[in-house]
Amino acid sequence: MSRQAAAPSASPEVVTLGETMVLLMAEQSGPLREATSFRRLVGGAESNVAAGLCRLGHAAGWISRVGNDDFGRVILHRLRGEGVDLAHAVVDAEAPTGVMIRERRELGAIEVLYYRRGSAASRLGAADVPERYVAGAQHLYLTGITPALSASCRQASFHAAEVARGAGVPVVFDPNMRRKLWSDGEARPVMRDLAAQSDVVLPGVAEAELITGEPDPLLAAQALLALGPRLVVLKLGEQGALAVGAGGEVVQVPAAPLQRVVDPVGAGDAFAAGFLAATLDGEALAEALDLAARCAAHVMSAHGDMENLPYRHELEATRSDPRDVRR
């Protein structure tokens, strides 16, 4: 048996769908095998973007499934507290909420363990996509994580994109490659098809190369544009971001100043939230990229991803001297 987490509501500005899990983050720095205590958080790319938009003053909704368990209730409670619309989040009594366990490191790659096989979110399907809800939004945000979870999740992603396109709702797609879910060969054709159905694509450099085979960022962006979107925004890490439009427009902005990267996880989600917020505000492309870069820097300045998503007033700190102290 499944049930809706809340009563139906009007469509928010941005609708997204995908998996959110309980995140157990190690309290000690170092390899996961040495961790003895963990902090319980909530994590998921799409819900991070939804929460980030809410903190920036916009309305966002999240479509998904969680288990009828305490971890599922933790997720719903947290997202509801962030202001995310949960009218189409389903509580699934027949499958558990997924869990991920992440180590804390100051040097080297961060290891993440996932316990998500057979999770409630992996049972998301096309029937869970409310067509009127998607069609009434101003943007649909998708990632490459959802179609990697299961065949039904893939169907849900493509169905949502089809509904949005049919209603004239722009589709924003972040490839968000997860190699623990699928191989490059499995991901490439699916991501190409999703990019072809999108209006805006937000890849990292490696993801753009994966999809197009082009190692050069500008050539990769142009190859992505040839698939059909009107805008490609490449996240260049320390080099900032590069946007290339179908009309030949090229805009590049530097990364926001950051003394030290404390935790890179969640930066891409914050970037997407900032970019969407600025777009909804009617900002020019350069200003949208700048806001996105500052949101990403804010998240990277501390541990955790959703916890450090910025509010509007906090973004001013990224414009000032990082040594300033507010007393």
128: containing domain: 2-311
Q: Point out the least confidently predicted range of 9-13, 95-99, 263-267, 275-279.
A: 263-267
Number of domains in the chain: 1
Helix axes 184-196, 151-166, angle to 10 degrees: 20
Mean pLDDT of 55-59: 97
- Spatial separation of the C-alpha atoms in residues 1 and 8, rounded to whole Å: 19
| N-to-C CA span, the chain | 53
Mean pLDDT of 78-88: 97
Instruction: Take residue 220 and report the two structure tokens written for it.
Output: 């990769």
Helix (H) or strand (E) holding 174: strand 171-174
Q: Is 267 within a domain?
A: yes
Q: Is 279 within a domain?
A: yes
- Spatial separation of the C-alpha atoms in residues 210 and 207, rounded to whole Å: 5
Task: Read off the pLDDT band of 77 (50, 70, 90).
Answer: very high
**What pLDDT digit, counting tens, does each position of 192-206 carry?**
999 999 999 999 999
Q: Is 46 within a domain?
A: yes
Q: Is 322 within a domain?
A: no
Mean pLDDT of 82-101: 96
Q: Is 88 within a domain?
A: yes
For the beta sheet containing 99-104, the strands, ordered from the edge strand earlier in sequence to the opposite edge, are 38-43, 21-29, 99-104, 112-115
Pick the more confident residue, 106 or 249.
249
Q: Is 327 within a domain?
A: no
Q: Is 299 within a domain?
A: yes
Q: Is 288 within a domain?
A: yes
Mean pLDDT of 121-142: 97
Say how many CA atoms lie within 13 Å of 57 toward its Cβ.
Answer: 11
Pick the more confident residue, 131 or 256.
131
Eight-class DSSP state of 319: G
CATH code, domain carrying 123? 3.40.1190.20
Residues marked as catalytic: 269
Task: Read off the pLDDT band of 297 (50, 70, 90).
Answer: confident
200-225: b (≥16 Cβ within 10 Å) or e: bbbbbbebbbbbbeeeebeebbbbbb
